Chain A
Amino acid sequence: MKKYLFSLITIGIFSSAFAQDYFPKNDQLKENYDGLIAFTNAVIHIDADREIDSGTLLIRSGKIISVGSNVKIPDHALVHDMDGKHIYPSFVDAYTNFGVSIPKSEGGGRRSAQYEPNREGFYWNDHIRAEQQAVDHFKYDEKTAQSMREQGFGVVHSLLKDGIARGSGLIVALSDESSDADRLLETNASQCFSFEKSSQSSQSYPGSLMGAMALLRQMYHDANWYQNNGTQTDQTLDALLANRAKPAFFEAGDNANALRAHSIGAQFNQPYIIVGASDGYEYLNEIAQTKAQFVLPINFPEAYDVTDPYYSAQLSLEDLRRWNQAPINPNKFAEQNIKFSLSTHDLKSPKSFSEHLSKAIEYGLDPKAALRALTTVPAAQLGVSSMVGSLEAGKLANFLISDKPLFSKDSQMQSHWILGKPYNIKLQQQKTSDEYQIAIAGRAARFVVENKDGNLSLKYGEGDSLETGKITQDGQWLKWQVKDKDQNGVLRAMAQINPDNLELSGQIFFQDGASRSFVASPTAFTPGINPNAENDSPGDTNNSSSQGSDLEVMPITYPNMGYGRTQLPTQQTVLFKNATVWTGEKEGILSNTDVLVKNGKIQAIGTGLSDKGARIIDATGKHLTAGIIDEHTHIAALTINEGGQNSSAEVRISDVVNPKDISIYRNLAGGVTSAQILHGSANPIGGQSAIIKLKWGASAQEMLYDNAPKFIKFALGENVKQSNWSSFSRYPQTRMGVEQLYINYFNRARTYLDNKKSGAPYRVDEELEILGEILEGERFISCHSYVQSEINMLMKVAESFDFRVNTFTHILEGYKVADKMAQHGVGGSTFSDWWAYKYEVKDAIPFNAAIMARAGVTTAINSDDDEMARRLNQEAAKTVKYGGMDEEEAWAMVTINPAKLLHLDNRTGSIKKGKDADLVLWNEHPLSVYAHAEKTMIDGAFYFDIDEDQALRQALQKEKNQLIQMMLSDQKSSGSKGRAPRKRDRIKFECETIN
């Protein structure tokens, strides 16, 4: 090995593989010679699936000339005998920002938010930057290149990680010894996207994930229009259109965002290679169904420091589990045959890549799959398979030489060749013998060099009183020093090991400057000992291979956190016997009544019912009601407000449903089965609602109602005019402006619809499409409202455009215009007793619901609050106290009335044959403060059960303990202190939450 290394350095001087012919040369003669280099007797891994046992690799001028077992080696070739070592294609990282830095932002420091873009001649939104070219910001970074090469990467895709559309990346070989002219393999290689805004602009839209999604959709609509009908110049769309055929990378983040990104790509026929989903194992089926390709980060979390029990008590099961489960992710992807490459993306430093990769392999990832994910797959993802990813004639001479098969723990990379030049050359430590005795002529003292299991020691002195010195090995060389007591100085020595007989030949340097050479033969020599002193982790080798099967990975639950279940609840045939049944229908409250549930529906209501297969629940003394429906909630959403513009009709809460919100479970424990997740109240025209059933454990998609009625949030008053925070630049700032804004938007929507219907070509505008649906009566408005003037105004605006407002939510002064509301036909969904939190609710009264209901307004009580949502039965009961509502009427306000307001009363909201079996069994009169839900059923499956809840609590504590124990022993073995525990900070959304 050593031999060829020296010769290689010589070759390096001659070669300049890709120097362009037309570049003049003035500092020396223009001449060039690149010789052939042959690597023989190697185990050549052409790619993960093809291997040559003993083959030859022939390269020249940075390219592979031929590979095979019978390669004819010309006489003039430099031959390196690999002696059974392994050659692999070097790795490709499909997603980095290598050498590319983000330019400084422009502007900032304003009094109010910025609504307009910084640029001219580009797209209207600064966060769409498809025209960006990574190469314009590229500066080759030798230091990072070095650490990337150490990890095996020879070629990387690099981009400007900034913006929602981030423009085009470049592909570069990590070759220090050439110029950009040689190493830039592609300068316009890709198109890249994310959900993250650009730091180069303060333009406020989009201010949310759902806004980013809507913006991307609109971008594609606009590009389509621009392509055929564009008259002005838009450099952004020009670039987007020009690059549409290029590989498209979408940096998504977690599994849910991966699915979000995919949904956009699928709509516009733009398959994205998704960067992210390192937690993909949680929703593996959904991920697999996308058929998308992935770039997987392997930033497995570090263990927490759990030595302090008070601190560690702050950790959630979800966080603890993430540490335990994350390393299985790559293997789970491999098992599902999802195409993925592995990347250093998201690692704090590329240096930890191999450590994480070993962990993935330890947790089941097949080394072959790992190799594919580092070579052929990323090469294909980048569209550069013809250049890199495998060792085949004509491709780049980028390869790794390893002493043993890669990914085995004690294997060592010996060198890394890029564009035909070697890097990261590891000197192999020469074996030494067990002991040498070196006598110095004319002196009684001697040196003793000992090698015990690879640990060298040096002693010096006379007889048995020996002084200990320092000795180090560097390849073939030993170097030592020791104090010489007699002479009061330091003796130094250098010695070379002869590999053939392990003899030492060297020189001793005395303190007086004199030196003497010596030759020493081994005094003892036991062949077979591996004295490899530089082995990184020799101790681990045995452990890890035997440990493989002992790794305990906690089962994944739905959702994968506390109170998740290993199986989703299933529909059952259930017979509730002898309950007090609140039908919510004209039958009223029936005592001693049975209810039969079958196939997710209410099958029968009566007395003496029976069904052979049914699970019988004795409900004697208990109350059975329809599930509570919350007309206005913000649970189960990642984001609530898109306040970046005064209208955000184009955003969809359904895009950002979060099935892992613990509030879902807590709401179930309060008897809630359905809820409308509304957009917030940051702007007069908000976003589209999501209506969900609280199927704890199901995916976001599964929670959404099928064929849900379409809703949109509108808002009036202080929030939309931004009264309660510093913002002075967005229209409207008064209630007067709110009216004009609505009129303006509806006028535009009408024009849009007219144009669309005329058959003329039109630019698809997601916002106006949605507003058009309102005009057409296909979409309903639920409007945040407080004072009577604005309530009246919106009804009049609606009437002038010939539609009706569906619901006023909050509607705290509804009692002042209840007669007008009844006449208009709008419903009211209000709080029971909130008031005085801002000026516009100073006249809010708890009698509001009663007055509205008596005036003929369909009235509901809603929460707009995670906490209140879990006791809406009590909030309904307050209408008995305040205003003297009949108890059945009061109960209707949280069941059938909100169902009516949501146009779901044909499906849920009461106990009626044929309706969805969304039921709650209460221990008590449901309006009583002493009542709590014992069982909550959705579509015939129990999603909450008070007994099961106890079991879930116990299981949760047990598993947390187990994981903490595992972390403690992990820290003991690894010696790392671990991360400080953290406590999650759940954002509690209300209408006004802007995040």
Chain B
Amino acid sequence: MNIKYKFSVLILSLVAVTGFAQQTPAPAQSEAITLAGATVHVGNGSVIENAHLIFKDGKIIALGQNEITPQGQIVNVSGQHIYPGIIAPVSSLGLVEIDAVRQSKDDDELGEYGPNIRSLIAYNAESQVVESMRPNGVLMAQITPQGGVFSGTSSIVQLDAWNWEDAAVKADDGVHLHWPNTYRRGRWWMGEDRGWKPNKEYENQVETITDYFDRTKAYIAEKPEVPNQAIEALVGTLDGTKKVYVYADGVREIMDAVSQLKNHGVLQIVLVGGYQSDQIIPFLKRHDIPVLIDRVHSLPQQADDDYDKPFKLPVLLTQGGLTVGLNARGSMERMSTRNLPFYAGHTSGFGLSAEDALKLVTSNTAKILGIDADYGTLEVGKSATLFVSKGDALDMRTNQLSHAFIDGRALSLETHQTELYQRYSEKYGQQTQD
């Protein structure tokens, strides 16, 4: 079943064969485009068969079946599937190019309490890792500083840009807070047992965090002349303009995080990780806390856990009525981020419909990140950030992109990797997919 297809003329015209350079970002949409005949997966659970999807000036202007009159450039994609662009939340894309090359690392600043650290300005829009997202349908990401307690402030970008300003979709959208753990790892290099032991500092560490918010409250009231950068960065969390993404896995930690942050005036809280959150769904519902679940392709955290715990966790939370998104955190997280559609697919196999699974990487994530007015679903008035796949995009077996658009701009699906593929296939006289 050798898949052979041709990119449309539209796409080919954009591909400059430039060896190892990054792909050139696509220019703004110049005329209306109609994607005709595909199955449209709206991203909100509904599906439109044999659909026409029209977008102009970067916005979707029409979506429906025969009642819609195609306009502008008509691209026949019948038999194919259209999806909203997949969004990678809490991601370090573009902050590190090669893990082991220290010179290429910009993801983790010194110091434990740096909410003022801004990821956006270090985001490398020309990263080869970033461009490798696009052929799998991952088109947006929330670029997030790593490490520490307050890691810093994230920004949401689209993944086809000349520079970070160009990439920014929503700058400085949230502060990332790693909640302390009631357990700490044994310092084996100091002769302690390798295992985890109770963290006696837990209460103090929590106190240090809540103190930041208390001081922010006071700071807002006093408006001192000399600014405090860390506290400035937290101001938005108390007036609702910035979300707090709090990373916690255990029941105790999650409950402490939510209630402490609420008590100290944080208005919008997103839970990241949430490994044991299935045990306290009513609590999370009561507080209206959405969850960005860590990589589905992870090992269970403890030996006795169900082998499929990470696979089914999104299912359990979704069925419990929570708003759930998936992230790709973990080792090799940047290059693995392109697997986000497959994480959704895998979790679907454990009890979610394919359309519900799709939400985990599109509309739910957009809602959680606060960009759902423009992104996350394919609806009239929203951005034309979408891709076309020859088959089910959540299954690696059938995820074969023919087109992708960000704000209506037709993207190149070529990468450093596809170029090498073509070069060496030609060397051996092998046929490639195109």
Contacts and interface: CB of A to CB of B under 8 A. Distances in A.
Interface in A976-993: 980-988
B98 A845 contact: no
A180 to B, nearest CB: 33
Given A834-B335, A837-B332, A930-B395, A982 B302 contact: no
Contact of B433 (A843, A871, A883, A886): A883
Contacts of A311: 182, 198
A855 B338 CA distance: 27
B195 A982 contact: yes
A866 B299 contact: yes
A302 B418 CA distance: 59
B251 A819 contact: no
Interface string A315-348: 0111000000000000000000000000000000
Given A666-B307, A839-B100, A928-B395, A874 B196 contact: no
Given A311-B198, A928-B397, A929-B345, A884 B3 contact: yes
Contacts of B398: 881
B399 interface: yes
Contact of A839 (B98, B307, B338, B396): B98
A705 B188 CA distance: 35
Interface in B420-434: 420-421, 424-425, 428, 430, 432-433
Interface stretch (A111-119, A124-132, A614-622, A846-854): A846-854
Contacts of A931: 349
B100 A718 contact: yes
A878 B338 CA distance: 12
Contacts of B432: 883-884
A984 B195 contact: yes
Contacts of B430: 851, 854-855
Interface string B121-141: 000000011000000000000
A845 B420 contact: yes
Nearest to B299: A867
A878 B136 CA distance: 11
Interface string A799-819: 000000000000000011011
The binding surface of chain A is classed by DSSP as loop
A836 B95 CA distance: 13
Interface string B305-338: 0111000000000000000000000001011001
Interface string B396-409: 11111000000000
A423 interface: no
A861 to B, nearest CB: 12
Given A851-B421, A887-B1, A983 B302 contact: yes
A887 to B, nearest CB: 6
A985 B196 contact: yes
Interface string A31-49: 0000000000000000000
B332 A983 contact: no
A867 B309 CA distance: 13
Given A662-B303, A928-B397, A929-B349, A983 B195 contact: yes
Contacts of B215: none
Interface in A868-896: 868, 870-871, 874, 877-878, 880-884, 886-887
A927 interface: yes
Contacts of A197: none
B252 interface: yes
Interface string B263-285: 00000000000000000000000
A953 interface: yes
Contacts of A924: 349
Nearest to B20: A843
Given A310-B182, A836-B98, A929-B395, A851 B425 contact: yes
A867 B297 contact: yes
A845 B414 CA distance: 13
B228 interface: no
Given A314-B196, A836-B334, A883-B433, A929 B346 contact: yes
A847 B98 contact: no
Contact of B428 (A314, A561, A563, A818): A818
Contacts of A214: none
Contacts of A669: 307-308
Nearest to B4: A884
Give the dominant DSSP class at B's interface: loop
B99 interface: yes
A956 interface: yes
B307 A870 contact: yes
A930 B345 contact: yes
B197 interface: yes
Contacts of A816: 424
A724 B101 CA distance: 8
A855 B182 CA distance: 54
Nearest to B185: A985
Contact of A316 (B1, B302, B346): B302
A669 B299 CA distance: 12
B100 to A, nearest CB: 4
Nearest to A310: B252
Nearest to A838: B100
A835 interface: yes
A754 interface: no
B349 A932 contact: yes
A818 B198 CA distance: 52
Interface centre among B1, B300, B304, B306 (most CB of A within 10 A): B304
B428 A854 contact: yes
A82 to B, nearest CB: 48
Contacts of B18: none
Which of A838, A884, A984 has most chain B Cβ within 10 Å?
Answer: A884
A842 B416 CA distance: 10
B96 to A, nearest CB: 9
A249 interface: no
Given A669-B308, A836-B335, A815 B299 contact: no
Nearest to A661: B303
A835 B133 CA distance: 13
Given A816-B424, A836-B129, A666 B335 contact: no
B348 interface: yes
A846 B417 contact: yes
Sorted from nearest, which 3 A-B pairs have the closest CB atoms?
Answer: A983-B196, A838-B100, A929-B345
17 contacts: A718-B100, A724-B100, A818-B424, A835-B335, A836-B98, A836-B128, A837-B335, A851-B430, A855-B430, A874-B346, A881-B398, A881-B399, A886-B1, A928-B395, A930-B345, A930-B346, A986-B303
Given A819-B428, A843-B420, 17 more contacts: A310-B250, A665-B307, A815-B421, A836-B99, A837-B99, A847-B417, A851-B425, A854-B428, A855-B430, A877-B397, A884-B2, A886-B2, A930-B395, A983-B197, A983-B302, A985-B186, A986-B303
